[in-house]
Chains A and B, each alone.
Chain A
Amino acid sequence: MSKFKKKTSTSQEIPTSALPDIIFMLLFFFMVTTVMRENDLLVEQNIPKAEQLRKMQKKTLVSYIYIGKPKDTNKYGTEPRIQVNDVLIQPDDVIQFVNQEKDKLSEAERDQITMAMKVDTEAKMGIVSDVQQGLRDANALKVLYTSLKESEMDNL
């Protein structure tokens, strides 16, 4: 050991003063990038609970369709409506929406597009079926009925 001791006249401390800055950068990066994209919901969302849940494979392939009773009942009435992006649409417009979403994807991925349907528990099957009919017409056949795990009581 004595061989090495000769050199120890210089300080062996690593300057750690810059470390917090690095970590803070990381922190800010995560804070900024985790966009809690809750695009303004115009419809009520009380997601049903289920057990046989599967995770989505690829996030980029997913588009969302929200169905539920409008929050602003004076403006939109009390019947469940369909929301995509930030607007309420009619069932006939679903095809157009799917095609828009498909255009965002590359050629090879278009058939892989998954439509995540976030449907309020109160909604009836009629409207859900209308949307699905539109999805079939637009050839978007993968559907995911977004649900919560049975134990997670709070809704998103």
Chain B
Amino acid sequence: MARSRRAKNEVNAGSMADIAFLLLIFFLMTTTIASDKGLAISLPPKPDPNEPPPDVKFNERNIFKVAINSADNMAVEDERLDDISTLKNEAMEFILNFGNPNAEAQAFFNTLVPELKAMSKHDPNSSEFPTKPAVISFKTDRGTSYEKYINVLDELQGAFYEIYAKQLGVSVDKVREEMEPTLREKYNELKKFIPMNISIAEPTKIGGN
């Protein structure tokens, strides 16, 4: 104990920093700044009263109809569907059907990755090509529960994100999160050909208040 001879009356405070650091890191980790994540949609703009609604002629084959009634039963293309897990696939097949593509859509079709090409059935009764006028129509009732609505909307959006992810060769999570500029550019280009056309109709008034 040679040191004790010239020991100063000081507490070794160096490790205090470590303790404080631990506390700091603990608080940094535990305070989840209320993670605000969710399904993003954009509402259609308010119709202009001076302008009549655009008279769009939708061919029946270009509409993928999803409806939920007030008892939370779902109908897809006028047929009852209880198993929600198959909805995503059906939606993807609809989007990628390419039943009657125009020249531009055909050119785009040729650039698809093989996996997506394989999903294309060229069914004459399904969509012609993914850009307008093909649209997914999603109708609910005022009595439909919000949970069911979110679940179905989740699947429908998932169908689009999965297509985007497969075509870009990245994970689905990556498509939804921030992307690096080069990928973002590709993504925007892709969205021109496969826009996320989910039309959420005003609910019917059969059930609920």
Contact A52 B203 (CB under 8 A): no
B159, closest chain A residue (CB): A52
A30 touches B27 (CB 8 A): yes
B39: interface (CB < 8 Å): yes
Tell me if B149 is interfacial: C-beta within 8 Å of chain A: yes
- Interface stretch among A2-10, A16-24, A101-109? A16-24
Contact of B146 among A36, A51, A120 (CB under 8 A): A120
Chain A residues within 8 Å of B202, by CB: 129, 133
Q: In the complex, what distance in Å separates the CA atom of A125 from the CA atom of B172?
A: 28
Asked whether any CB of chain A lies closer than 8 Å to the CB of B54, the reply is no
Q: How many Å lie between the Cα of A129 and that of B140 in the bound state?
A: 10
Whether A52 contacts B158 in the complex (CB less than 8 A), given A27-B24, A34-B33, A125-B145, comes out as yes
Partner of B31, one of A34, A55, A67: A34
B144 contact from A119, A125, A143, A149, Cβ within 8 A: A125
Q: Is B17 an interface residue (CB 8 A)?
A: yes
A residues less than 8 Å from B154 (CB atoms): 50-52, 147
Among residues of A, the one whose C-beta sits closest to the C-beta of B68 is A125
- Number of contacting residues on A, CB 8 A? 56
Q: Is A149 touching B24 in the complex (CB atoms < 8 A)? A: no
Please pick, from B38, B142, B153, the residue contacting A124 in the complex, using a CB distance under 8 A. Answer: B142
For chain B, what secondary structure do more than half of its interface residues adopt (helix, strand, loop), or is it mixed? mixed
B146 to chain A: which residues have CB within 8 Å? 48, 67, 119-125, 128
CB <8 Å contact, A126 and B39: no
Taking a contact as CB atoms under 8 Å apart, the answer to whether A142 and B40 are in contact is yes
Shortest Cβ distance from B128 into chain A, in angstroms?
26
Q: Determine whether the beta carbon of A54 is less than 8 Å from that of B39.
A: yes
Name A139's closest neighbour in chain B (CB-CB): B46
B39 touches A55 (CB 8 A): no
Interface flag for A75 (CB, 8 Å): no
B24: A residues at CB distance < 8 A: 23, 26-27, 30
Alpha-carbon separation in the docked complex, A13 to B151 (Å):
62
12 A–B contact pairs at CB < 8 A? A23-B17, A23-B20, A24-B20, A30-B31, A54-B177, A67-B146, A117-B38, A121-B147, A126-B143, A136-B43, A137-B46, A143-B42
B-to-A contact residues, CB < 8 Å: 10, 13-14, 16-17, 19-21, 23-24, 27-28, 31, 33-34, 36-46, 140-147, 149-151, 153-154, 157-158, 161, 172, 176-178, 202-203, 205, 208-209
Q: Ordered nearest first, which 3 A-B pairs have the shortest CB separation?
A: A126-B142, A20-B16, A23-B20
Q: Beyond the given A122-B147, A145-B153, please list 14 additional residue pairs across the A-B interface where CB-CB is below 8 A.
A: A17-B13, A34-B31, A34-B33, A37-B34, A51-B154, A54-B40, A55-B37, A120-B146, A123-B145, A125-B208, A129-B142, A139-B46, A144-B36, A145-B41
B-binding residues in A (CB < 8 A):
16-17, 19-20, 22-24, 26-27, 30-31, 34, 36-38, 48, 50-56, 59, 62, 67, 79, 116-117, 119-129, 132-133, 135-137, 139, 141-149, 156
